[in-house]
Amino acid sequence: MSSHISQLAGQTAIYGLSSIVGRLLNYLLIPLYTRIFLTSQYGVVVEMYSYVAFLIVILTYGMETALFRFYQTEKDKRNTVFGTTVVSVFTSSIVFIALVMIFSNDLAALLRYPQHSEYVIWFGIIIGFDAIAAIPFAKLRAENRPMRFATIKLINIGVNIGLNLFFLLLCPWLINNSSESVIKLVSVVYSPDIGVGYVFISNLIASIITLALLLPEIFKTKILVSAALLRRMLIYALPLLVAGIAGVANEALDKLMLKYILPEDIAMSHVGIYGACFKIAVIMAIFIQAFRFAAEPFFFSHSEKKEAPQLYAIVMKYFVFACLFIFLGIMLYMDIVQHFIGKEYREGLGVVPILLMAKMFLGIYFNVSIWYKITGQTHFGAIFTIIGAIITVSLNLWLIPIYGYFGSAWAQLACYFSMTVACLLFGQKYFFIPYPWKKITLMIGLALLVYFISVFLDIANPFLRYFIHAILLFVFIFFVVISDKSFTTDTKNIISKIFKAKRKE
C-alpha cells in the first residue's frame, strides 16, 4: 500500500515541478504587477483572466477526464480515443476563435472596454489554443509521462515571464535611459500606451509556442475518429462540463460580481486588491493542481483493485496534512509573505486565511468526488457543483454590499465546504471509502488552534516571533505524527521515492 502512496507522491512532485516552480515564478510577477499598475489597472488583469477560466472549461467540455476514462476502458482503441478527442476540441476551438474575431467590437463594448477590442481578440486566440493544447497534455498524463509534461509547461511559463519582464521592465528602462537610436529600435516592438495589454500579449505568444511544442504529440499518433465513440465520450463528459462551469463560477465569479455590485468608482480597485490577495493563496492552489494532475490518472488506474478504497482513504489523510502544513506555513509568516504584493493591496490580507481554508476544502472535494468519476455517475458532479454555484452567487449577492471582498471570501469557503459534505454523504452510499474523518478533523482543529495562538501572542520582536512560530509549526507536525504510527513509515517511503527513484517516460 505504501508503495502506491510513494508512486503518487513521486508523480505529484514531478507534475508539481511545472506547477510549483512555474507558479512560483509567475508568483514573482505579482510584486511587479502590484507595483507598476494601479489597483484598478490590475483589476483589469484579474477580470480578464476570470473570463478565461470560464471559457477554457467550456471549450474543453470535460474531454480531458473523458480521455482518461476511455484510455482505461478502451485500451485497444487508444489511438481512436485520442484522435476523436483532439479533432473534436480542435474543431470547436477554431470555430470559437473565428466568432470572437468577428464580434470582437461588440464583445469589447459589452465588457466596458470599447476602446480595447484587441483584448478580446488576443484572449480569443489564447483560450482557443490553450483548449487544443489541453488534450495532448492530458495524453501525456494518461501515459504517465510527467517529465515531458513538466518540460513543456515550464517552457510556456518561462516564455510568458520573460516577455512580461521584457515589455514591463526592460523596454520602459531602455526608453528612459538610452540613446535616440536605441529608443527608435525599442519603439518598433513597444508602446507605453499598451500598458496592461503587454500582460496579455506575453500570454498569447507563450500559448502559441506551447501548442507548437505539442504538435508532435498529435501528429505522431495515428489520428482515428469515431462518431460512435465521440457520442459516448460526450455523454460521459457533458455532466463534467456543467460541473466545470459551476466550479469555475465558484472560483472566479466573485471577482466579476465585485465589479458589477460595488460602486463603479471603487469596483475595479477592490477587484485588484482582492485578486492580489487571492494570489497569496496560490501555494495551496499549486499543490492541489499538482496533486490533481498526478491523482486523477492514479485513481483511475487503481479503481478496479481490491485495496482501492483503503488506498484512497490514506491518500486523503496525507493530502489534508500537506494542506494544513501549507496553511500554517503561510499564516505564521504572513509578515514576510505580504511583501509579495504592493502596499496599496495589503489592506485585503485578512481574506487570506479564509481563502486558504476554502482551497483546502476544494482539494478535499476533489478527493471525495472520485467515486462518481469511477462509477460513471458524472451527473452527480454537476449537481454538487451547481449547488456550490448557487451558494456562491447567493452569498456574494448578500455579503458583497455589506462586507465587500471579505463577503466573497466567506462565500467561497461556504461553497466548497458544502460541496464536500454533500458529495461525501452521497458518495459513501455508492462507493464506500473508509476516510479517517476523526483523524482529519483533529488535524484541522489542531492547525486552527496553532494559528489562533499565533494571532493571540502578537509578538513584536520579529526574530522572537519567527522562532515561536517555528516551534508552533513543529508542535503541529509532532502531534500529528505521534498520533499515527503510519506517518513515520509512509513518510520515509515517500521521501525515498521522490528523491531516489528514477522516473521513466
pLDDT in tens, 145-191: 777 888 888 899 889 999 999 999 999 999 888 888 888 888 888 88
Interacting residues of 176 by C-beta distance below 8 A, sequence separation 6+:
none
Which of 78-92, 254-268, 355-369, 473-487 shows the lowest per-residue confidence on average (mean pLDDT)?
Answer: 473-487
Find out whether 372 and 381 touch, Cβ atoms under 8 Å.
yes
Rounded mean pLDDT of the chain?
83
Residue 394: what pLDDT?
A: 94
Q: What is the CA radius of gyration of the chain?
A: 23
Cα(180)–Cα(302) distance, rounded to whole angstroms?
65
The H or E element containing residue 253 is: helix 227-261
Residue 284: what pLDDT?
A: 84
Tens-digit pLDDT profile for residues 337-394: 888 888 888 888 999 999 999 999 999 998 888 778 777 777 787 788 888 889 999 9
Which of 37-51, 91-105, 253-267, 278-292 shows the lowest per-residue confidence on average (mean pLDDT)?
Answer: 278-292
pLDDT at 89 > cutoff 80? yes
3-class secondary-structure state, position 262: coil
Residue 445: what pLDDT?
A: 93
**DSSP H helices in 17-145:** 22-27, 29-36, 39-60, 63-73, 78-102, 104-110, 117-142
pLDDT at 501 > cutoff 50? no
Given 3-state DSSP classes, what are the helix, strand and coil percentages for the chain, each rounded to the nearest 5? 85, 0, 15
pLDDT category at 502 given cuts 50, 70, 90 is very low
Tens-digit pLDDT profile for residues 282-325: 778 878 877 776 776 677 766 666 667 777 888 888 899 999 99
The average pLDDT across 461-483 equals 87
Cα(19)–Cα(153) distance, rounded to whole angstroms?
8
Residue 380: what pLDDT?
A: 83
Residue 413: what pLDDT?
A: 94
pLDDT category at 28 given cuts 50, 70, 90 is confident
Cα(312)–Cα(88) distance, rounded to whole angstroms?
33
Q: Could you give the dihedral angle defined by the CA atoms of residues 363, 276, 445 and 414, in that order, rounded to the nearest 10 degrees?
A: -60
Buried b (16+ CB within 10 A) or exposed e, 334-369: eeebeebbbebbbebbebbbbbbbbbbbbbbbbbbb
pLDDT category at 449 given cuts 50, 70, 90 is very high
Residue 504: what pLDDT?
A: 47
pLDDT at 503 > cutoff 70? no
pLDDT category at 487 given cuts 50, 70, 90 is low
Residue 253: what pLDDT?
A: 85
- Which residue type does 11 have? Q
Residue, of 176 and 97, whose pLDDT is higher:
97
pLDDT category at 401 given cuts 50, 70, 90 is very high
For 390-399, the CB contacts below 8 A with 24+ separation are: 391/415, 391/418, 392/249, 392/250, 392/253, 392/254, 393/249, 393/253, 393/257, 396/253, 396/254, 396/257, 396/261, 397/257, 397/261
Which of 23-27, 106-110, 140-144, 377-381 shows the lowest per-residue confidence on average (mean pLDDT)?
Answer: 23-27
pLDDT at 209 > cutoff 60? yes
Provide the grid cell at 267. 469596483
- The pTM assigned to this predicted structure is 0.75
Cα(269)–Cα(275) distance, rounded to whole angstroms?
10
Instruction: Pick the closest to residue 245 from 446, 58, 13, 5 (CA basis).
Output: 58
Residue 450: what pLDDT?
A: 93
Interacting residues of 307 by C-beta distance below 8 A, sequence separation 6+:
1
Cα(197)–Cα(163) distance, rounded to whole angstroms?
12
The average pLDDT across 446-458 equals 90
The average pLDDT across 108-120 equals 85
pLDDT at 404 > cutoff 80? yes
Interacting residues of 415 by C-beta distance below 8 A, sequence separation 6+:
250, 358, 388, 389, 391, 392, 395
Residue, of 494 and 259, whose pLDDT is higher:
259
